């Protein structure tokens, strides 16, 4: 996992299957009466 | 309590995006004078660098001078761009002629043509109900005759018939593969065409100013609203051909507090390439902590 500013990219240099586990922290923003977080994840 | 309400928009986004990817389909057709094409990959549209192209010809294995002209034919069970089988068939009438360009694009360099001043017709049947873009290529470079750019009309037949066109391009004289393609130049597009159950699509190809109707290629790109195809129809894919990271599963287990959201993320990902592959995983104002 590589941080490229506003993006995190995944780099695989070798063939194979992998399971990665990590923690993700998302910033809360105020949107009207709600607190929300939003991010876009890969499909 | 409102403070702790969380809009799980990203979860919906992930699911919707995954569904659309699965449901999207593309069928490519290369028309010409032989039954083999070296064409792979994208043209005006495409899914990847290894997209399969069906090849349509009235002559097998190829046209040679002196052959009896064959004006019509039919090709069943076209394959999707990923190699999977379909129930789609295409029929062509009044196109006995074959000739070529020299652009370097195998699809663009072979074409069928109709007798002078006449119309040739393409009929597509067996499409799953949905909405499609139809990209049509109809160009012959000038040689002893002037440049030809076909005029296309499209209509559907069934409960909800449509009639679209005529539409032609501004021409692609001198275009070479690798120079980039542009709708309205190398091809024309009928966008967002609704096709119902058991409906078929008829494409009339008429001559433009050059006087001859020609047909190089056709792409039928689903807009993702057709039912997803079952995996059993997928033919084995050469592993070396997979050039993207394959995300098999992504799970989130999260909580949101006053300071932010924290998620335990589990990702199952596969690479089938010996080359380094890169994929964007997240975009936003986030941090990834302590990968294990």
Mean pLDDT for B234-244 is 56
- Asked if A30 reaches chain B (Cβ–Cβ under 8 Å), the answer is no
Residue A17: its chain B contacts at CB < 8 A? 248, 268-270
Is the pLDDT assigned to residue B1 strictly greater than 70? Answer: no
B277: nearest CA partner in chain A:
A12
CB contact under 8 A, B263 and A23: yes
CB B245, CB A18: distance < 8 Å = no
Question: Helix H segments across B93-230?
Answer: none
First to last CA, chain B: 34
CA closest to A29 among chain B residues: B260
Distance CA B137, CA B220 (A): 12
Find the mean pLDDT for residues A11-15: 82
A32 touching chain B per CB within 8 A = no
Q: Is the peptide bond before B61 cis (omega within 30 degrees of 0)?
A: yes
Dihedral over Cα of B34, B35, B40, B44: its sign: positive
Name the token pair of B102: 């020299």
pLDDT-derived band at B104 (thresholds 50, 70, 90) equals very high
The answer, for B288 touching chain A at a CB cutoff of 8 Å, is yes
Nearest to B260 among A3, A27, A38 (CB): A27
In angstroms, the CA B213 to CA B152 distance is 9
8 Å CB contact between B92 and B78: no
Determine the average pLDDT of the residues in B191-195: 90
| DSSP helix/strand/coil, B136 | strand
Q: What backbone torsions phi and psi does residue B233 show, to the nearest 5 degrees?
A: -85, -5
pLDDT for res B125:
95
The CA angle B4-B5-B8, to the nearest 5 degrees, is 130
CB atoms within 10 A of CB B70: 14
CB burial string B185-206: b at 16+ within 10 A, e below: bbbbbbeebebeeebbbbbbbb
Q: What is the pLDDT of residue B178?
A: 83
Q: For residue B43, what pLDDT is reported? A: 92
Nearest Cα neighbor of A30 from B259, B159, B203, B204 is B259
CB atoms < 10 A from the CB of B35, how many? 14
Contacting B residues, span 70-89, partner chain A, CB-CB under 8 Å: none
Window B:195-254, CB contacts with A under 8 Å: 245, 247-248, 250, 252, 254
Task: Give me the pLDDT at residue A30, please.
Answer: 67
Q: pLDDT band at residue B240, thresholds of 50, 70 and 90? A: very low
Closest-CA residue of A relative to B242 is: A15
B287:A25 CB<8 A: yes
Q: Count the neighbouring beta carbons within 10 Å of the beta carbon of residue B286.
A: 23
> In this predicted structure, what is the pLDDT of residue B4?
35
Task: Tell me how far the alpha carbon of residue B83 is from its chain's centroid.
Answer: 12
pLDDT band (50, 70, 90) for residue B22: very low
What is the reported pLDDT for B154? 95
Give the Å distances, CA to CA, from B231 to B84, B126, B228.
Answer: 9, 19, 9
- Which chain B residues have a beta carbon less than 8 Å from that of A28? 256, 258-261
Most B CBs within 10 Å: which of A8, A12, A14, A21, as the mutation test of the B interface? A12
Query: Coil, strand, or helix at residue B8?
Result: coil
At B214 the pLDDT is 96
Q: Indicate the pLDDT class of residue A11, thresholds 50, 70 and 90.
A: confident
Dist. CA B67–CA B60, nearest whole Å: 11
Both tokens of residue B191?
Answer: 């966008």
pTM above 0.95, yes or no: no
- Supply the pLDDT for residue B211: 92
- Listed range (B84-93, B98-107, B177-186) with the worst mean pLDDT: B177-186
CB atoms within 10 A of CB B71: 16
CB contact (8 A) between residue B287 and residue A33: no
Q: Which of B243, B250, B286 should we substitute to test contact with A (largest number of A Cβ atoms within 10 Å)?
A: B286
Q: Name which of A19-28, B48-57, B109-118, B135-144 the model is least confident about.
A: A19-28
> Under an 8 A CB cutoff, do B263 and A24 touch?
yes
| 3-state DSSP assignment of residue B287 | strand
Task: Grade residue B245 by pLDDT with cuts at 50, 70 and 90.
Answer: confident
CB of A22 less than 8 A from some CB of B: yes
Is pLDDT above 70 for B172? yes
CATH topology for B24-230 is Jelly Rolls (2.60.120)
């Amino acid at each position: 996992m590589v941080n490229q500013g506003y993006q995190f990219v995944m780099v695989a240099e070798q063939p194979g299957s992998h399971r990665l586990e990590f923690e993700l922290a998302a910033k809360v923003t105020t949107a009207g009466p709600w607190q929300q977080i939003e991010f876009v994840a890969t499909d | 309590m409102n403070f702790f309400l969380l809009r799980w928009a990203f979860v919906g986004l992930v699911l919707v995006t995954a569904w659309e990817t699965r449901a999207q389909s593309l069928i490519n057709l290369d028309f010409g004078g032989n039954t083999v094409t070296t064409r792979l990959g994208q043209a005006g549209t495409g899914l990847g660098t290894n997209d399969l192209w069906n090849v349509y010809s009235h002559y097998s294995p190829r046209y040679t001078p002196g052959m009896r002209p064959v004006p019509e034919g039919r090709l069943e069970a076209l394959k999707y761009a990923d190699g999977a089988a379909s129930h789609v068939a295409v029929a062509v009438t009044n196109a006995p002629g074959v000739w070529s360009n020299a652009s370097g694009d195998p699809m663009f360099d072979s074409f069928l043509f109709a007798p002078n001043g006449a119309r040739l017709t393409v009929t597509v049947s067996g499409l799953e109900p949905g909405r499609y873009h139809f990209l049509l290529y109809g160009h012959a470079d000038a040689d002893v005759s002037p440049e030809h750019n076909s005029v296309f009309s499209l209509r559907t037949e069934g409960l909800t018939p449509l009639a679209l066109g005529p539409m032609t391009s501004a021409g692609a004289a001198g275009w070479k593969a690798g120079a980039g393609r542009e709708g309205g130049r190398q091809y024309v597009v009928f966008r967002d065409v609704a096709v119902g159950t058991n409906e078929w699509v008829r494409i009339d190809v008429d001559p433009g100013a050059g006087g001859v109707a020609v047909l190089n290629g056709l792409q039928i790109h689903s807009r993702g609203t057709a039912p997803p195809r079952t995996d059993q129809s997928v033919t084995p894919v050469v592993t070396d051909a997979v050039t993207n990271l394959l995300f098999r599963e992504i799970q989130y287990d999260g909580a949101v507090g006053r300071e932010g959201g924290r998620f335990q993320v589990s990702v199952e990902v596969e690479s089938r390439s010996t080359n380094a592959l890169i994929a964007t995983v997240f975009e936003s104002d986030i941090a990834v902590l302590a990968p294990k």
